[in-house]
Amino acid sequence: MQGHGDHEQDAAVSETGPATRPAAAPRHAWFPEPADWLRGLVICVIAGVFMAFTGAFGSAQISLGGRLLYWIPVMVAGGAIGSLIARPVFNSHYFSTRPWLAVLLVTSLLTPPLTVIVWAASNLAWGQSWNPVHIVNAILPVFIVSVVMTAINYMADRRPRETHAAPEGSAPPKFLARIPMKLRGAALYAVEAEDHYLRIHTDRGSDLILMRLSDAVSELEGIEGAQTHRSWWVAKDAVADVNRGDGRATLILKDGARAPVSRTFARILRAEGWY
């Protein structure tokens, strides 16, 4: 038998709409979108040109044309491999709140294969001997460049943390059990960070609980929504209107609350039909 609290939680889930739509992983979870591939390619080409013009890592003795033919393909190859490694890491729940730990993990996974590629490319381009010992000498430079490039691509490709509707019959999102009793059963509109507290916005008003937003977003899986700003998570069904001005967007919720949209996330949310 369900208790009174269970019925209230089910009501909260149904009112926010998650039980009517199947869960779906975001399209970018494993493979980049074409626009993301293009942006990553441009970053790698620019980095390759920079490395060529500066004669990085002892390549200055080669002609500029030779350096361009060496560095651009190497940087593009590293970017392609790094993108495939980085996607599942950065989109995991654990690393989504630990980005710099994710950068180090991606770099550690990327360095071995990229070191071999650099070693082989150097032998082909500069006529070096195919001595496997030279691979060891390339590890540190490759690691340093990989850290920088992974961090740059992460900053350029930051995405909002999204939550997704659960299949019908699924257990209610864990977060609903944390809602104060006076708001139990209300439609959840948004969660806003205020210092060490979270303000819960619902169709019956708002209240505060002690919790971090990053932890709350993890427990909101099961409701269609997204983190629109570093201090806001918003349920998609709660958006009534949008106000755009000065290059910024603000979501107007059904209760009148105004949730800012970070410029970092604006393009992605707009492409996903939020406004």
pLDDT digits (tens, 9 = 90+) for 65-116: 989 999 999 999 998 898 888 878 877 767 766 778 888 999 999 999 999 9
Domains of the chain: 34-156 (no CATH), 169-271 (2.40.50.1020)
Higher model confidence: residue 9 or residue 145? 145
Higher model confidence: residue 133 or residue 193? 193
**Range from 18-27, 82-91, 132-141 carrying the lowest mean pLDDT:** 18-27
Given a contact cutoff of 8 angstroms between Cβ atoms, the answer to whether 235 and 175 are in contact is: no
**pTM exceeds 0.75:** no
Please list, in sequence order, all residues whose beta carbon lies within 8 angstroms of the beta carbon of residue 9, skipping any fewer than 6 positions away. Answer: 172, 176, 177, 184, 185
Distance CA 190, CA 92 (A): 22
* Mean pLDDT of all residues in 44-48: 93
Q: Beta-carbon neighbour count of residue 104 at 10 Å?
A: 15
Distance CA 176, CA 22 (A): 19
Tell whether the model's pLDDT for residue 41 goes beyond 60: yes
Q: Which two tokens stand for residue 161?
A: 């943390």
pLDDT in tens, 175-220: 999 999 999 999 999 999 998 899 999 999 999 999 999 899 989 9
pLDDT computed for residue 143 by the predictor: 94
**162-173 as b/e, with b when 16 or more CB fall inside 10 Å?**
bbbbbeeeeebb
2 — pLDDT class (breaks 50, 70, 90): very low
| C-alpha distances out from residue 92 to 84, 120, 159, 198, 253, Å | 14, 33, 12, 23, 28
Most confidently modeled range among 6-20, 125-139, 244-258: 244-258
